[in-house]
Structure 1
Amino acid sequence: MTTLKISTVALLLTATAAPVLADEAATCGTVRYSDPGWTDITATNGVAATLLEGLGYTPEIATLSVPVGYEALKNGDTDLFLGNWMPAQQKFRDDLDAAGTIQELVQNLEGAKFTLAVNAPGAEAGVADFADLDAQKDAFDGKIYGIEPGAPANQSIQAMIDADEFGLGDWTLVESGEQAMLAQVGRNANAGTPTVFLAWAPHPMNEALQITYLSGGDERFGPDYGGATVHTLARTEWVEACPNAAKLFGQLVFDVSMENVLMGKILEDGMDAKEAARGWIADHPEVAATWLEGVTTLDGQPGNDAVMAAVSK
């Protein structure tokens, strides 16, 4: 091939590639995802936002309840969700799968659990299983403390009450946000009041409170104390239009220990989620390298170099 021909081919390739990169930057520069108000998802969303900003993207995080968040994903109002807890959210996942417009990018966490638990006074009252609760109804004031209204776990608790399972038909579900619920549990523990509530790991509550997870809830919460995995979902159209950002999220996986640390910094140290994430990423460059393998900045530069430079400022 002559020098003229080689130069012509190079020019053609450059002319072809540049508009594609420009189009992707214009389409994908803002990445939209949601936060249901759970500290674990706030923490992982903060990690994602820190990485995205280091790569030149703009993260846009909307605070939406679980049902509204799934509708937003289904309707194309958001691009991603990092908090698909399974099997607790199976109903929502089935709806998305039926729509055929969403795909799973990765299982981002394993080793999680999610079921009812009691505080120390509750355990001292002899409650270790769902079946132990009703005999102690008066001590517990007939209340089960849940999280925000509309959450699938609350729906499972309410369904259990409605069906009078374990004799709980005359108990009441108290719905509130995660932090309000845990504040109530802590106050009750200090007052010596037995309390049953929705508990999960990862979460620093497991370090801050004496928690006894209850057996017997397999039908509603699954085996192994509601053993769960967490998944990242994305709109198929977004994945196709934004392969670089999608690659990042397909490689973005966490572990329980990491999330406990980040959540503790948010809840106990008062850090912003991105501030906590920047420190963690700076201290664990080897993990960040696996997340960013083959990922570039929005304008096509090496992604890992850009992120590490950003978190080191």
Structure 2
Amino acid sequence: MKKILFVTMIALIVAVLAACGSDNEETGEASGAEQETITFGVTPWTSTVPPTKIAGLILKDMGYEVVETSADAGSVYTGLSRGDLDVFMDAWLPMHDNYINKYEDNLDLTAVSYPEADTGWTVPTYMEDVNSLEDLKGREDEFGNEFYGIESGAGASIESDEILKAYEFDMEQINSSEGGMLAQAQKMMADEEPVVFYGWRPHTMFNKFDLKVLTNEQGFFETSSVEVVTNTELKENAPEAYEFLSNWNISLDDVEEMIVKIEEGGDPEEVAQEWIDNNQDKVDEMLGK
């Protein structure tokens, strides 16, 4: 009788263990399950939108769910480092080196979107005798002792503060959103007043106004490489998505053209889909087909 009870107990234990193993498989808890949702960090810059929308549409076609999370640059990099975000399509290097260096153990420089993007302190071309940062020294009062920048904490704003200190300019950086900065600059340019603000390409400001980026002798605002950054877990958790993103590239002119269409009222996803439809060979190349 004891022998029968012992055998029965063993059989029950084996059955329970088998059921647990089966449950793990059915609920997707087995190791090696691939990540199904890709989360993009989206900064409040017009240059971020077209690449994010294009990449998102392609990833959706690949079977992934796509989520966009809006945040300032610092929060995007923090999110990437924590694994809360997977991808940022608009990293400006070396301008964002402070974030890259801070979180280097958790970030992957995955691809270069376009290698030569002009950026820096910008003035309208009617200011013919102002062509470099050095030309501003001693003339700060002509500009109301103000430089107009984008949001505080952005790499460009941090570097602009360094410029103010390095040149000992008697100026204050006025930070606001991209739209707020440009509205102020546009207002002053309408009356051909002296104004200096942060400018970059790709952006419609260079299509709408006659502008020039100021040179400098101290190496500020080097020509930027705009890159795709992912968190280090994506390569293992979603290898197909990572492989596509590692092949990513797009021209600065294409991004700028899409920004213009969006600012003129075009739906961002429709503009992105139009680019995909017109560049299927390039898309196939990025997908490794």
Q: Deviations over 1:275-304 (max 9, x none)?
A: 21011111222222212224xxxxxxxxxx
Aligned to 1:111: 116
Cα drift, residue 53 of structure 1: 2.1
Note if 1:291 corresponds to 2:281.
Answer: no
Aligned to 2:67: 60
Q: State the aligned residue count.
A: 264
Summarize the Cα distance change of 1:24–1:198 in structure 2 as closer, same or farther, 3 Å threshold.
Answer: farther
Note if 1:261 corresponds to 2:262.
Answer: no
Summarize the Cα distance change of 1:140–1:56 in structure 2 as closer, same or farther, 3 Å threshold.
Answer: same
Q: Deviations over 1:192-251 (max 9, x none)?
A: 111111111122211111111111164332xxxx21101212122221111111111111
Q: Deviations over 1:52-90 (max 9, x none)?
A: 222222211111111111111111111111122111011
Aligned to 1:160: 163
Aligned residues of 2:247 and 2:287 also touching (Cα < 8 A): yes
Summarize the Cα distance change of 1:218–1:259 in structure 2 as closer, same or farther, 3 Å threshold.
Answer: farther
For 1:101 and 1:143, the matched residues in 2 are separated by 37
Note if 1:278 corresponds to 2:273.
Answer: yes
1:179 match: secondary structure:
helix
Could you list the runs of 5+ residues in structure 2 that have no partner in the other structure? 1-24
For 2:57 and 2:233, the matched residues in 1 are separated by 24
For 1:101 and 1:135, the matched residues in 2 are separated by 44
Aligned residues of 2:59 and 2:66 also touching (Cα < 8 A): yes
Aligned to 1:101: 106
Aligned residues of 1:24 and 1:241 also touching (Cα < 8 A): no
Give the partner amino acid of 1:144: F
Aligned to 1:30: 37
- Segments of 4+ in structure 1 off by > 6 A? 21-26
For 2:84 and 2:185, the matched residues in 1 are separated by 35
2:81 match: secondary structure:
helix
Cα drift, residue 23 of structure 1: 7.4
For 1:31 and 1:167, the matched residues in 2 are separated by 45
Aligned to 1:142: 145
Larger helix percent: 1
For 1:270 and 1:59, the matched residues in 2 are separated by 23
Give the partner amino acid of 1:180: G
1:219 match: secondary structure:
coil
Q: What fraction of aligned residue pairs are identical, expressed as a percent?
A: 23
1:182 match: secondary structure:
helix
Give the partner amino acid of 1:41: T
Cα drift, residue 177 of structure 1: 1.2
Could you list the runs of 5+ residues in structure 1 that have no partner in the other structure? 1-17, 295-313
1:156 match: secondary structure:
helix
Q: Which runs of structure 2 are paired with 1:168-179 in the superposition (5 Å)? A: 168=169, 170-179=170-179
Give the partner amino acid of 1:105: T
